[in-house]
């Protein structure tokens, strides 16, 4: 069975017909052509597929596309503005928060969600917000520094998470 879903994806309204059993991850990558969201473990363990649903991080590999009708979905492609990096993207760039990069879109979306809800998080709140994301390369210290950098940028104003 297929059904129509209507959602706001990266700021744009769209309507799509999707099979009942289509994962949000496969909808984004295969139907919406948004390949920034990565497939990692495909089982809810790694966080590589993290997207924002109404500003809260969710795992696209554990979410049905049919379940997000009426919601606001943001993927990593939504960040930045006209070529200018978002605060979190700048943080990852300046603090070397990315090495091989495979985990990076998921981390960036988890960080962006945190900073949208809480622009000035404590180090403990940052660690808690990133608890569902795994990185095999960086050792996490650089990622936490990236979030702190982004938080400082937000405090100065003029940029979005």
Positions in the binding site for ligand FES (CB under 6 A): 39-42, 44-49, 59, 61, 98-104, 135-138
- Longest Cα–Cα distance in the chain: 50
DSSP state of 161: -
Distance in Å, CB of 144 to ligand FES, minimum:
13
d(CA 92, CA 53): 22
Distance in Å, CB of 133 to ligand FES, minimum:
9
* Angle formed by the axes of helices 87-94 and 141-156, nearest 10°: 130
Between the alpha carbon of residue 15 and those of residues 6, 12, 68, 116, the distances in Å are 4, 10, 12, 26
Distance in Å, CB of 24 to ligand FES, minimum:
10
Of 5 and 146, nearer to ligand FES (C-beta) is 146
Of 17 and 41, nearer to ligand FES (C-beta) is 41
Of 120 and 136, nearer to ligand FES (C-beta) is 136
Distance in Å, CB of 107 to ligand FES, minimum:
7
Helix (H) or strand (E) holding 143: helix 141-156
Of 70 and 101, nearer to ligand FES (C-beta) is 101
């Amino acid at each position: 069975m297929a059904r129509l879903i209507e959602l706001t994806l990266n700021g744009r309204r769209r309507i799509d017909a999707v099979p009942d059993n289509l994962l949000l991850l496969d909808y984004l990558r295969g139907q919406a052509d948004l390949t920034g969201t990565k497939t990692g473990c495909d089982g809810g363990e790694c966080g590589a597929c993290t997207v924002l649903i109404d500003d809260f991080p969710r795992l696209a590999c554990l979410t049905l596309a049919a379940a997000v009708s009426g919601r606001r979905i943001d993927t990593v492609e939504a960040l930045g503005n006209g070529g200018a990096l978002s605060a979190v993207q700048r943080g990852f760039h300046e603090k070397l928060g990315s090495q091989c990069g495979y985990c990076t879109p998921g981390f960036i979306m988890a960080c962006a969600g945190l900073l949208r809800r809480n622009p000035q998080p404590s180090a403990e709140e940052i660690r808690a917000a990133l608890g569902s994301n795994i990185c095999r390369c960086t050792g996490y210290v650089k990622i936490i520094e990236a979030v702190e950098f982004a938080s400082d940028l937000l405090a100065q104003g003029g940029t979005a998470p």
